[in-house]
Amino acid sequence: MPADPLHRAGNPQRSMTSPPSPGPGGSAVEVRRSARRRRTVSAYREGDRTVVLIPARMSEAEEQRWVNVMLDKLAAQESKRVLGDAELFERAERLSEQHFGGRARPASVRWVTNQNTRWGSCTPSEGSIRLSHRLQGMPEYVVDYVLVHELAHLLVPGHGSDFWRLLEAYPRTERARGYLEGVVAADRLPHLPAARDE
């Protein structure tokens, strides 16, 4: 296989391995390979894109795995910052625009502390969406999934096939559902007594 022309002497030491691909919420992910990097991987937000820096020698499979790891890591860091109701409303409007062409128009979106058995709820006749405070601190893509789910209810009230077809617009639906199912399953596990110092 011929040497990568971007890594020959005299040429830049980093390159984009592929055109930016969609990340969570439709934002672009740009992977930059570097011959100087040996083992470390890092990522940061640059405007509306995520840049992931990896060693040039990584295989495509390793690249994809590390992109997913770094996206999750950034999302976890960002989710530690609790969104206020106004930011949550703006986020819902953006998600509606991205996934439903702006057709789902909430009148209000807010956090509530009285929903302990559901992640979110919607009253289509009022256009109100409520998210459980238990979502605070979860990865961004999980919160976005719940918002998209409730936004879809503004267009289709029930959980029939039309509703689930609408949710296909959100690319991380299955992953977010799996995450939430894992949280529910973990809550059902018996809690072990704390270890005592002997």
What mean pLDDT value characterizes the chain?
A: 81
Question: Minimum mean pLDDT among 94-98, 148-152, 161-165, 182-186: which range?
Answer: 182-186
Using CB atoms within 10 A of its CB, is residue 75 exposed (0-12), middle (13-18) or buried (19+)?
A: buried
Residues contacting residue 71 through CB under 8 Å, at least 6 positions apart: 23, 24, 29, 43, 50, 52
Return the higher-pLDDT residue of 19 and 187: 187
Q: What is the pTM of this model?
A: 0.59
- To which H or E segment does residue 166 belong? helix 161-167
Which of 14 and 47 is assigned the larger pLDDT? 47
pLDDT of 9 = 32
Looking at residue 25, its pLDDT comes to: 46
Beta-strand relationship, 120-123 and 108-112: unpaired
Residue 93: its pLDDT value, please?
95
